[in-house]
Amino acid sequence: MKYLGVLFVFLFIFSVAVLYIVIGEGDLVNIIDVTEHEESLYDDTKNNGTADNFLNLSVLQPLPPVSVSEVVISENWHEFTVYVYDFESNDIFHGKLDDYLCGVVFAEMPSTFEVEALKAQAVAARSYYVYKTLNSSENERELHRGADICTDPTHCKAYISYEKARNKWGEEYISPLWGKVEKAVTDTSGQIIVYESEPAIAVFHAISNKNTESAENIWGGNVPYLVSVPTSESENADIITNFSTIIEYNSEELKSKLISNGFRGDFDKNPEKWIGSIVLNSSGRVDNIEINSKLISGNRMREIFSLRSADFTLEYKKTDDKFIFSVKGYGHGVGMSQYGANLMAREGKSYKDILLWYYAGVDIINIYEKPFP
């Protein structure tokens, strides 16, 4: 009888070991994930901010509704381990949610910003993480090697570890700023924004001009809380680094860039005649521009000519043979404006005021708290 017990324990250990070897590390992460169910410095010298948080179009496709009260609200979030795919090293690392968020806020927003703006960024990043965790498609999970989220700012959220930031900018400079970001994250611990009880895709951008942009104008799908709202950057342009930028191309460069990007149209011998009317959309950005009698969208122009935003004017200066783009703002313009958030914080607004302003009609809830408020 005694030997039978020993044999049983041995068999159990053996089968677990075999299972681990067969599944492999990447898949194991995926299985754990599913079963637990477990989403500059702008002083421009020490930049730890990124301008844009582009959305994959698929993210905006209709998804099965997730009820916050049933799925999200859980004391278990305290225990949750976040799995993050590092797109640069191709590794997966893991940690507690708020530790991960410190690295995100530090990478996404200048940590010299006001505390209330950093808090708003922390809540937006947490909301995005929760959304992603609950809604990631199979394809996305595969792309993330089974992890919840990745560190590619053009796909999910930028991230930097304390060690990396310290090595890059030095401990003396980084330590107090990291402490400030950490406080913004822990002071808002558990808070996310929801729209009609579903976690919000809290996208954001660096700088708008007079209005933010709607998700519909950028990605084609209407998202009720990602609509255009007024913002005050244009009134404070003098204190925002690179609020306005100029980009110039000569006529040959302009023409070849258009052609290499699939533009099919005849170019008049006289470049003065190339540009026709420019139509603005409701947010004040370029909806479309007429070039040689063909229409190109403002966003496409932004991509082709590497403009910081689709809020631009275009003129031709014959004497220098120069097409001059005068651009205002930075980023796609959807959701919270980071500079706008900082300006609101400077005026004494709280992170809640900021979030409720930039994400229309949302509520702020705490995923650790029961019952559902």
Binding part of the chain for Zn ion, among 113-121, 144-152, 227-235, 352-360 by CB under 5 A, reads 144-152
Q: CB of 124 within 8 A of CB of 204?
A: yes
Count of beta carbons in the 10 Å neighbourhood of residue 281: 19
The smaller minimum CB distance to Zn ion, of residues 130 and 150, is found at 150
- Phi and psi angles of residue 46, each rounded to the nearest 5 degrees, phi first: -125, 80
Shortest distance, position 69 Cβ to Zn ion, whole Å? 27
CB of 71: closest distance to Zn ion in angstroms?
21
Q: Which is nearer to Zn ion, 155 or 332 (CB)?
A: 155
CA distances, 29 to each of 155, 167, 245, 274 (Å): 20, 29, 45, 55
Which of the residues 154 through 173 are near Zn ion (CB under 5 A)? 155-156
Q: How far is the CB of 55 from Zn ion (least distance, A)?
A: 11
Helices (H), 156-202: 162-169, 171-187
The smaller minimum CB distance to Zn ion, of residues 150 and 174, is found at 150
Shortest CB 158 distance to Zn ion, Å: 11
Distance CA 328, CA 311 (A): 6
Helix (H/G/I), strand (E/B), else coil: 225: coil
Nearer to Zn ion, 150 or 206 (CB): 150
Smallest distance, Å, CB 129 to Zn ion? 11
302 makes contact with Zn ion (CB under 5 A): no
Nearer to Zn ion, 86 or 98 (CB): 86
> Is the peptide bond prior to 153 cis by the omega test (within 30 degrees of 0)?
no
Q: Which is nearer to Zn ion, 101 or 310 (CB)?
A: 101
Residue 140 or residue 311: which is nearer to Zn ion going by CB? 140
To Zn ion, the closest distance from the beta carbon of 156 in angstroms equals 3
| Residue 208: CB minimum distance to Zn ion, A | 24
CA-nearest of 159, 37, 181 to 103 is: 159
Q: CB under 5 A: which stretch of 1-9, 12-20, 56-64, 152-160 binds Zn ion?
A: 152-160
Radius of gyration of the chain (CA): 24
Closest approach, Cβ 203 to Zn ion, in A, equals 13
How many residues can be counted in the chain? 373
* Helix (H/G/I), strand (E/B), else coil: 108: helix
Q: Give whichever of 219 and 243 is closer to Zn ion, judged by the CB atom.
A: 219
Nearest Cα neighbor of 364 from 355, 320, 278 is 355
Q: Name the segment binding Zn ion (CB under 5 A); options: 16-24, 50-58, 103-111, 149-157.
A: 149-157
By CB under 5 A, tell whether 150 contacts Zn ion: yes
Q: Is 154 helix (H, G, I), strand (E, B) or coil?
A: coil
Distances (CA, A) of 255 to 60, 267, 296: 34, 8, 14
Binding-residue total with Zn ion (CB under 5 A): 3
Structure tokens of 31?
A: 């299985």
Binding residues for Zn ion, rule: CB under 5 A, are 150, 155-156
